[in-house]
Homo-oligomer: A and B are copies of this chain.
């Protein structure tokens, strides 16, 4: 069996190594435009800020490591044609040679491309996107001689990068077209708490102002956002990522509303072409609608499912809840399921439960404030959660991911057994407090007996 994987990110490499796990004889080739494989793009901000020593540190494996597993990796190589009728891929090597390779199965793991708004000046020197290690290296070098950074786009990556640049001593402004930061993962009330933290730490947050243009001669000097002009010698375009579907489309794979369509086996409309990672669209576990899930964790889970199906093991990728966490400065911000905003957009009536509590017993040194929001549908079922604190956020998001996946309602959650010891938790867990708050609201709204 010959398998070709296009793309060397989390989805592609997971598919490749799991195909090897289940089939010792498969010929596996991974073709990637990147010069590195198996690194953690999510870690780029932390190398930039110096928390992680070097970009080398975030490279988990070298192509040679895959060679040892019998996986052939072609770096800096670009597939320019997929001939799905002939089960053949044409690509250009690092040295510019044109070659072709046949496959029995093809895995599209082409990822996403940073979306750069079509405004003037984004090609000036000092304007960067954040996607690859090379991007990170360039930013780090440029930052050394910079004083004022403007981050366009206040999603997780924008905030992470912004904070790390501030740690390097730069003046940092984060600008966002929408009226709040982190619009995909947080509701306005929770976003305000993060914004307060950023502002207290000295970051200038500019909301509701789209980038109009970047100004400079050769090098960027100013960013114009809405009616505001901000001095800048370093600009980061963190304005989102678009699924890279060009090759899939060319291969005849059906493209959905957002990206490549796949069934629960991660199979495209072309039976021997599978697709995984940021280039595919998936189903939302709450709304049932098509959605994107551009996370490394999703890519890994999809890569495993594709590998199982290609090797005949069988496997199913379930609708997503989009669990996410990021660390901005010392603050951890997590979310899973729907925000109230997203629920409204989907016509789902919701109410919320909240708590403002502590991560440990209040008398235990080092306990930290924590904010939790639970989004519940009309029947009280938890369909989303947002959590902000300086510790334990990721694990609490995971707890909520299990609760949401298993259709737990606020009453049940308020009765769940959370573990307790003063150095590590509160006797009544902050999640339980939020669930009790939700129960009160449910009772009041429905008039039903508790």
Show the binding face of A for B, using Cβ within 8 Å: 10, 40, 42-43, 46, 51-52, 57-58, 60, 295-298, 300-301, 308, 313-315, 318, 320-327, 332, 334, 336, 361-365, 392-399, 401-403, 405-406, 408, 412-413, 415-425, 427-429, 431, 449-450
In the assembly, what is the distance between CA of A325 and CA of B424, in Å? 8
In the assembly, what is the distance between CA of A119 and CA of B51, in Å? 56
In the assembly, what is the distance between CA of A321 and CA of B415, in Å? 12
B420 pairs with A363, CB closer than 8 A: no
B334 pairs with A40, CB closer than 8 A: no
Q: Closest B residue to A418 by CB, please name it.
A: B398
A336 pairs with B421, CB closer than 8 A: no
A14 CB to closest chain B CB (Å) equals 9
Q: Which residues of B contact A413 (CB under 8 A)?
A: 402
Q: Closest B residue to A362 by CB, please name it.
A: B60
Q: What are 14 A-B pairs with beta-carbon distances under 8 A?
A: A42-B420, A43-B361, A57-B363, A296-B427, A315-B450, A324-B420, A325-B421, A325-B425, A327-B423, A336-B419, A392-B394, A393-B424, A401-B416, A401-B417
10 tightest Cβ-Cβ pairs between the two chains A and B: A395-B395, A406-B406, A325-B419, A323-B419, A43-B422, A327-B423, A323-B417, A394-B424, A399-B399, A397-B419
In the assembly, what is the distance between CA of A127 and CA of B334, in Å? 48
Q: Which residues of B contact A422 (CB under 8 A)?
A: 40, 42-43, 46, 52, 58
In the assembly, what is the distance between CA of A394 and CA of B392, in Å? 9
A191 CB to closest chain B CB (Å) equals 18
In the assembly, what is the distance between CA of A40 and CA of B334, in Å? 30
Question: For A298, A318, A424, which residue has the most chain B Cβ atoms within 10 angstroms?
Answer: A424
A419 pairs with B392, CB closer than 8 A: no
Q: Which residues of B contact A364 (CB under 8 A)?
A: 43, 46, 51-52
Q: Which residues of B contact A308 (CB under 8 A)?
A: 450
A323 pairs with B418, CB closer than 8 A: yes
